[in-house]
A and B are shown apart, each in its own frame.
Chain A
């Protein structure tokens, strides 16, 4: 990979946190560019803003530009204000379409990659690998991976490096059905159906700014919970699991959970109107639904 496009989709994010993220990206890019093991020659940074009003002022953008220019790597940076909430998936697709770099590094705005992260992700993006995923801290993702190869079922969108050729071949994220949640699961599974493998890279560390709840639970916001329920139903449709869909809907019907009800109502209405994903042939070959997760787990969090 000679070129990498780093992309961050914003939605009402704190400018201070974005400056800090820019510093981290510049440090990681600088280290990867200097790493003799990679053939990396150029890194560009693209921001796409889905907020109603630009969340970065001219001054903020200037600070970010100065930071990435000064911190060793000398990155080019661009800012695009979408003027609409495209969701993280739609925003990522739009930013990917704006570039032609060999690899696309998708980063959530609430992350902070270690300086070694990009070099490690690049090193793992071997032939046949469509995406390499960083290890999140402080809440490490619990899904299983092969401890020797890193092969895993899907890659989280918080910090993943995609091979552009693979990303483009499968059409990128599905922003229609998965604007916020499970867009990464869906994309990973379509990549695998296309023959690519997905790798978890434990040595690529990224801080993902999530609070830990009382009692050690991983917290979900209401929006996240609703989007997540709906996304699960779309995944059942696309990857051919009507049995799980029926069971989910039956359990939801008796659950005292208004968020779950709202998600089911939207699913039902849209599906009745024909707004549902087509079933993918052979989808069951890659899709895994294990105890409510999309891959076997190494361990579990409460909540």
Chain B
């Protein structure tokens, strides 16, 4: 254990100070019943905020220690079925005041030591409820602290096959039940609590940073990659200890949560269609979706900054489709924000296994969803990319139609997804790929609202550099590009595209990128090609050393 003596900056008093602060910020002063109080460490910080303390613990030595310091204390078995009565007895015996003075019940560093936390928390709920009846205007809180076993330091060690139990810390050898944030949330919800505050201990470096030089820890490339992925996956990647306050959830809230669970199986694909409801082309896009052979999809139709009349017309159009499509189209109005806002709002509600974009001026073949499905079946978890052709269109004011094609189909994009190609420029229009929602959720992928252009490219690259991409040979989409005034290509000037392109690369380059197998050979060949061209242009002599970037 000598190499465990790493100065990671955590002390248990950090948790108690935070718990006291959380209580003080959530309720008015009173007594805190500290269950599993140990030697009563919480009493002191609570005192700073004017709160009293009753320490209850199963270890007589701890109880004696608290009493020696003049603190109110008592012995209690947390697993006792009559926990509620025993706490009320202890309150009376300790003479800390009547029940109505109890402001909170604390469970600090206790739950992970319990073999059946659900049962104990159920009784804790009964206890808090019984105390609430005595203090209805400011019902007591439940405050818990629990270590987080999904901390990035443990993720980094598991990656290399290590699970090091220690005397103290995240993997304290006395912990019986292990928690990440999701399990804690589920436990508290299932036992009838609703979170009302949090003051987690965030600790980027923990006692698990051993042995030294482990390649997945610290500032190594792998370490930075693991940290980036883990901290994006959930907000608690660097949370050492959850310190959270709860109130008893009202019965109607608890039942409403259960009722809100959507029993319908999620669709294969969520199609995000962003529209400002300015063009008739949306009829094309919706009709092409209605004609899909694989109809296991939902459409999130995002009316973005649409004029009310135009928005109503789109809603009316959706309503006039056959119910088989209409009931799968969910219209959302987004009044503000840039181009990414409606996309991100759609991601937040998307239920599909995969998500794809279809702008209101593009159109697809009947195999569009099917090709994504085939790719997903072949390579689950990867981005699926199908072939796409370009058709140039232009606005036709004063004509029967408000736009018209001016070209046939141009195969402007490569047949397969090639990561390095896409570093140079986007070779996959938004309608040509689908991204697994598992990747979106795990990496917290968003469309960058700071960008005026290229937001789809950044999204695709961020997904593909983690998940890779599977290509399907079918041509399934027609990316309609506007000639003259029309689409975003024309609205934004050339310099904006260049600036945004460089910004995307700079953003992605702040963290390590995984490249697919074969990429090193390709990069090598690119360097060779540069050298060869420089020789041909007379920029390099035969004896010059190999090119260095």
Most buried by A among B317, B320, B323, B478: B320
B410 in contact with A216 (CB, 8 Å): yes
B409 in contact with A302 (CB, 8 Å): yes
Cβ of A215 < 8 Å from any Cβ of B? Answer: yes
Please indicate the chain B residues that have their CB under 8 angstroms from the CB of A114 in the complex. Answer: 283-284, 286-287, 321
A214 in contact with B415 (CB, 8 Å): yes
Stretch at the interface among B28-36, B397-405, B531-539: B397-405
Partner of A203, one of B291, B293, B400, B474: B400
B283 in contact with A20 (CB, 8 Å): no
* B216 vs chain A, min Cβ distance (A): 44
* A292 vs chain B, min Cβ distance (A): 14
Cβ of B473 < 8 Å from any Cβ of A? Answer: yes
Q: How far is the CA of A214 from the CA of B475 in the complex (A)?
A: 7
A298 in contact with B405 (CB, 8 Å): yes
Q: How far is the CA of A215 from the CA of B413 in the complex (A)?
A: 10
Cβ of A232 < 8 Å from any Cβ of B? Answer: no
A212 in contact with B475 (CB, 8 Å): yes
A137 in contact with B284 (CB, 8 Å): yes
B363 in contact with A138 (CB, 8 Å): yes
Cβ of A26 < 8 Å from any Cβ of B? Answer: yes
Cβ of B365 < 8 Å from any Cβ of A? Answer: yes
Cβ of A147 < 8 Å from any Cβ of B? Answer: yes
B404 in contact with A298 (CB, 8 Å): yes
Are A211 and B293 CB-contacts (below 8 A) given A27-B320, A115-B322, A298-B404?
no
Cβ of A233 < 8 Å from any Cβ of B? Answer: no
Chain A 195-207 near chain B by CB (<8 Å), digits 1 or 0: 0000001110111
* A197 vs chain B, min Cβ distance (A): 14
CB closest residue in chain B, given A212:
B475
Total number of A-B contacts with CB less than 8 angstroms? 122
Are A205 and B283 CB-contacts (below 8 A) given A20-B324, A148-B399, A212-B389?
yes
A112 in contact with B408 (CB, 8 Å): no
Please indicate the chain B residues that have their CB under 8 angstroms from the CB of A71 in the complex. Answer: 322-323
Please indicate the chain A residues that have their CB under 8 angstroms from the CB of B291 in the complex. Answer: 20, 24, 112, 207, 209
Cβ of A13 < 8 Å from any Cβ of B? Answer: no
Considering only residues 205-227 of chain A, those with a C-beta below 8 Å from chain B are 205-207, 209-218
Chain A 139-153 near chain B by CB (<8 Å), digits 1 or 0: 010100001111000
A213 in contact with B475 (CB, 8 Å): yes
Are A207 and B283 CB-contacts (below 8 A) given A202-B401, A216-B475?
no
Cβ of B387 < 8 Å from any Cβ of A? Answer: yes
Most buried by B among A31, A298, A299, A302: A299
Please indicate the chain A residues that have their CB under 8 angstroms from the CB of B317 in the complex. Answer: 115-116
CB closest residue in chain A, given B473:
A214
CB closest residue in chain B, given A110:
B366
CB closest residue in chain A, given B367:
A211
* B411 vs chain A, min Cβ distance (A): 5
CB closest residue in chain A, given B364:
A138
Q: How far is the CA of A20 from the CA of B321 in the complex (A)?
A: 11
Chain A 20-44 near chain B by CB (<8 Å), digits 1 or 0: 1001101100110000000000000
Please indicate the chain B residues that have their CB under 8 angstroms from the CB of A24 in the complex. Answer: 290-291, 322
Most buried by B among A138, A201, A202, A211: A138
Partner of B288, one of A16, A137, A299: A137
Q: How far is the CA of A278 from the CA of B404 in the complex (A)?
A: 38
B478 in contact with A138 (CB, 8 Å): yes
B283 in contact with A212 (CB, 8 Å): no
Cβ of B221 < 8 Å from any Cβ of A? Answer: no
Q: How far is the CA of A300 from the CA of B409 in the complex (A)?
A: 8
Please indicate the chain A residues that have their CB under 8 angstroms from the CB of B475 in the complex. Answer: 211-214, 216
Partner of A201, one of B283, B293, B367, B400: B400
Most buried by B among A23, A26, A211, A212: A212
Please indicate the chain A residues that have their CB under 8 angstroms from the CB of B367 in the complex. Answer: 211
Considering only residues 430-484 of chain B, those with a C-beta below 8 Å from chain A are 473-476, 478
CB closest residue in chain B, given A207:
B291
Cβ of B220 < 8 Å from any Cβ of A? Answer: no
Please indicate the chain B residues that have their CB under 8 angstroms from the CB of A212 in the complex. Answer: 365, 389, 409, 475-476, 478
* A272 vs chain B, min Cβ distance (A): 38
Please indicate the chain A residues that have their CB under 8 angstroms from the CB of B280 in the complex. Answer: 203
Considering only residues 246-303 of chain A, those with a C-beta below 8 Å from chain B are 298-302
Are A302 and B321 CB-contacts (below 8 A) given A20-B291, A147-B396?
no
Q: How far is the CA of A24 from the CA of B321 in the complex (A)?
A: 7
Q: How far is the CA of A253 from the CA of B320 in the complex (A)?
A: 53
Cβ of B158 < 8 Å from any Cβ of A? Answer: no
Please indicate the chain A residues that have their CB under 8 angstroms from the CB of B283 in the complex. Answer: 114, 116, 203, 205
CB closest residue in chain B, given A119:
B320
Cβ of A17 < 8 Å from any Cβ of B? Answer: yes
Q: How far is the CA of A288 from the CA of B322 in the complex (A)?
A: 39
CB closest residue in chain A, given B401:
A202
CB closest residue in chain B, given A111:
B291
Cβ of B406 < 8 Å from any Cβ of A? Answer: yes
15 additional A-B residue pairs with CB within 8 Å, beyond A138-B288, A214-B411: A20-B322, A24-B291, A27-B322, A112-B290, A116-B320, A138-B478, A142-B408, A148-B399, A202-B399, A202-B400, A207-B366, A211-B365, A211-B474, A214-B473, A216-B389
Which residues on A are within 8 Å of B, measured CB to CB? 16-17, 20, 23-24, 26-27, 30-31, 71, 112-116, 135, 137-138, 140, 142, 147-150, 201-203, 205-207, 209-218, 298-302
What are some 25 contacts across the A-B interface (CB < 8 A)? A20-B322, A27-B321, A30-B320, A71-B322, A71-B323, A116-B283, A137-B363, A138-B284, A138-B288, A138-B364, A147-B400, A147-B401, A148-B400, A202-B401, A203-B280, A203-B400, A207-B366, A211-B474, A212-B389, A212-B409, A214-B411, A216-B411, A299-B408, A301-B408, A302-B408
Which residues on B are within 8 Å of A, measured CB to CB? 280, 283-284, 286-288, 290-291, 293, 295, 317, 320-324, 363-367, 387, 389, 391, 396, 398-401, 404-411, 415, 473-476, 478
8 smallest A-B Cβ distances: which pairs? Answer: A216-B409, A202-B401, A23-B322, A112-B291, A147-B399, A301-B408, A115-B320, A207-B291
